[in-house]
Amino acid sequence: MLSKATVERAFELARGGICRNVVDIRRALEREGYENCAEHLASASLKTQLKVAIRSCVAAPHNVDVRSLKEAR
């Protein structure tokens, strides 16, 4: 059983520095065993929030969570 909600993990991935867009996040979630990822990430407002999180990480790469990097592999 997965310990985190899909959306919570999506934000971790967005801030992790590996995923460059929402499609990358969806694919990473699916690789980790999350189900119905497309449905969970379908909201336009959620996609916008994830894009902002991705951009903030790209703008400040020192915020990379090393644990997320290991988990994404």
CA-to-CA distance for 18 and 39, rounded, in angstroms?
22
If you average pLDDT over residues 42-56, what whole number do you get?
Answer: 95
**24 has a pLDDT exceeding 90:** yes
Q: Is residue 28 part of a domain?
A: yes
Q: Is residue 30 part of a domain?
A: yes
Higher pLDDT, 26 or 57: 26
**How far apart, in Å, are the Cα atoms of 72 and each of 6, 9, 39, 43, 50?**
14, 11, 21, 23, 17
Q: Is residue 1 part of a domain?
A: no
CA angle (30, 63, 59) in 5-degree steps: 95
The phi, psi pair for 63, rounded to 5°, reads -85, 10
The total number of structural domains that make up the chain: 1
